[in-house]
Amino acid sequence: GDSVTQMEGPVTLSEEAFLTINCTYTATGYPSLFWYVQYPGEGLQLLLKATKADDKGSNKGFEATYRKETTSFHLEKGSVQVSDSAVYFCALSDHGGAQKLVFGQGTRLTINP
């Protein structure tokens, strides 16, 4: 079945550091790919998405590129802030995103001032 694998956390960085969180996927079709962020005590929020190969999703300084050849969707940010501390989830959905999302296990990110 479809699956998503994320780099294990926790990840701890200093403010203004460069961030990469790796995500790879396995899917039978051509999925849509997503990154969600969960702040403490809250639900998940959509951070960015990409629906086809070579698409780049971006939001709030984060970006990720849909790489079909490597089945990857790595999350990057050039300069992280303390407010970026959260848990980040990579996810995929077949059939245009309307149906169920399959999530990775989440990566906890802590940014120190």
Partner 1 sequence: DAGVIQSPRHEVTEMGQEVTLRCKPISGHDYLFWYRQTMMRGLELLIYFNNNVPIDDSGMPEDRFSAKMPNASFSTLKIQPSEPRDSAVYFCASTEPDARGYTFGSGTRLTVV
Contacting partner 1 (CB under 8 A), which of 77, 106, 107, 109?
Answer: 106
Interatomic CA distance for residues 65 and 77, integer angstroms:
12
Q: Contact 39/29 with Cβ under 8 angstroms?
A: no
First to last CA, the chain: 41
Q: Which lies closer to partner 1 via its Cβ, residue 4 or residue 111?
A: 4
Q: Which lies closer to partner 1 via its Cβ, residue 17 or residue 46?
A: 46
- Sort residue 69 into left (φ over 0), alpha (ψ -120 to 50) or beta: alpha
User: x-or-dash pattern for partner 1, window 72-101, by CB under 8 A?
Assistant: -----------------x---x--xxxxxx
Residues in the chain: 113
Contacting partner 1 (CB under 8 A), which of 21, 23, 25, 49?
Answer: 49
45 binds partner 1 (CB under 8 A): yes
For β-strands 19-21 and 75-77, DSSP reports them as antiparallel
Amino acid identity of residue 93, one-letter, is S
Q: Which lies closer to partner 1 via its Cβ, residue 84 or residue 104?
A: 104
CB of 96 to partner 1, least distance (A): 5
Phi, then psi, of 97 in degrees rounded to 5: 95, -5
Interface with partner 1 (CB under 8 A):
32, 34, 36, 41-46, 49, 51, 89, 93, 96-106
